[in-house]
Amino acid sequence: MESVNVSFGHRLWWVDAFIGGAERGNPAVVVLLERPMEDHELQQIAFELGVSETAFVRRVGDTWSLRWFTPTVEVDLCGHATLATLHVLLSELGVPGGEFYFQTRSGVLSGRRLRDGMLGVDLPRAYIEPLNDAVLNGTLGKVLEVYQAGPQSVLAVVDDYDTLCGLAVDPMSLFLVPSSMVIVACHGGPDVDVSIRVFAPRLGLAEDHVTGSAMCAISPWWVEKVGSPVVTVRQASARGGVMHARLFEKNVEVAGLARTFFGGDLRA
């Protein structure tokens, strides 16, 4: 019996982030690393798991190292997987509450527990600049406004909620838009200030379910339009999600609810 290997690998949790009453949120798998792993190993795990984002978290002194992978590439920022990671640390691992700090490719991000079961994470705000709508190559049909939202995102505004929900987008056409992420927004929606859809074919995601990092652009745009630093947003995807955001000088606090769907061990 001494030759039988009974050790387990890294622990993991499937978490639905930015859930609502009828909204199922965006799944992220959070993997707690017990040891460093090579990049190609992390990418292979993310490919096998197949969710839009897999978060790999590891304790480093008083902070946490956090990386995010789609099934095809590592990304610089992911809001819903960061919220999912914070949920795991607090609800699954019982790490004492307070302020959490994550070392990431986008710098040090922070997160915390808020009231009414909400969690909040701070993401770097984007600065928006008007663009000519020709950058979209007509892929979204008629748009009211188009903005560059940081170095990797484009924000397009359409007429209304019905127009937003009715968009039939060809991922290959959007792939030609020079941006990693295309955010489409409109004023209003069921019980919210703004509704959005998000497409990221260059990251291997035809359409994302719920996108916390989109708030980095939506919050500055909302302030510019109505003057309020606080906005509630619905993502009108098949799963649906609800996010709350508050704009500060250098960051956006993005808040929402999360739940664990299942947990287990990774035999890798």
pLDDT score of 3: 38
Query: Which of 261, 242, 145, 152 lies closest to 192, judged by CA?
Result: 242
Region class of 165: left (phi > 0), else alpha (psi between -120 and 50), else beta: alpha
Residue type present at position 222: W
Tokens of 225: 């339009």
Q: Tokens 């292979």, residue?
A: 44
What distances in angstroms separate CA 65 from CA 31, 32, 84, 224, one per listed residue?
12, 10, 14, 34
Could you give the domains of the chain?
Answer: 10-123+255-266 (3.10.310.10), 128-251 (3.10.310.10)
Q: Which residues, in sequence order, are bridge partners of residue 60?
A: 63
What is the CB-side half-sphere exposure of residue 142 using CA atoms within 13 A? 4
24 closest CA partner among 74, 93, 80: 80
- Structure confidence by residue, pLDDT tens digits, 29-40: 999 998 889 999
Q: How far apart are CA 33 and CA 72, in angstroms?
A: 20
> What is the torsion angle, in degrees rounded to the nearest 10, for the CA atoms of residue 72, residue 74, residue 76 and residue 81?
80
Q: Which of 212, 263, 258 is nearest to 85 (CA)?
A: 258
- Tokens standing for residue 7: 């050790």
User: Annotated active-site positions, please?
Assistant: 53
- As a whole number of Å, the end-to-end CA separation of the chain is 22
**pLDDT by position in tens, the chain (length 268):** 343 333 446 899 999 999 999 999 999 999 999 888 999 999 999 999 999 999 999 999 889 999 999 999 999 999 999 999 999 999 999 998 789 999 999 999 999 999 999 999 999 999 999 999 999 989 999 999 999 998 889 999 999 999 999 999 888 888 888 899 999 999 999 999 999 999 998 888 889 999 999 999 999 999 999 999 999 999 999 999 999 999 999 999 999 999 999 999 987 6
How is residue 7 annotated by DSSP?
-
List the structure tokens of 8: 């387990």
Q: How many helices (H) and strands (E) does the chain have?
A: 5, 17
Which is nearest to 152 in space by CA: 100, 82, 105? 105
Taking Cα atoms as reference points, which of 205, 212, 192 lies closest to residue 86? 212
What is the model's pLDDT at position 268? 65
Q: pTM of the prediction?
A: 0.92
pLDDT per residue as tens digits for the range 186-231: 999 999 999 999 999 888 888 999 999 999 999 999 999 999 999 9
Cβ pair 258, 17 in contact under 8 A: yes
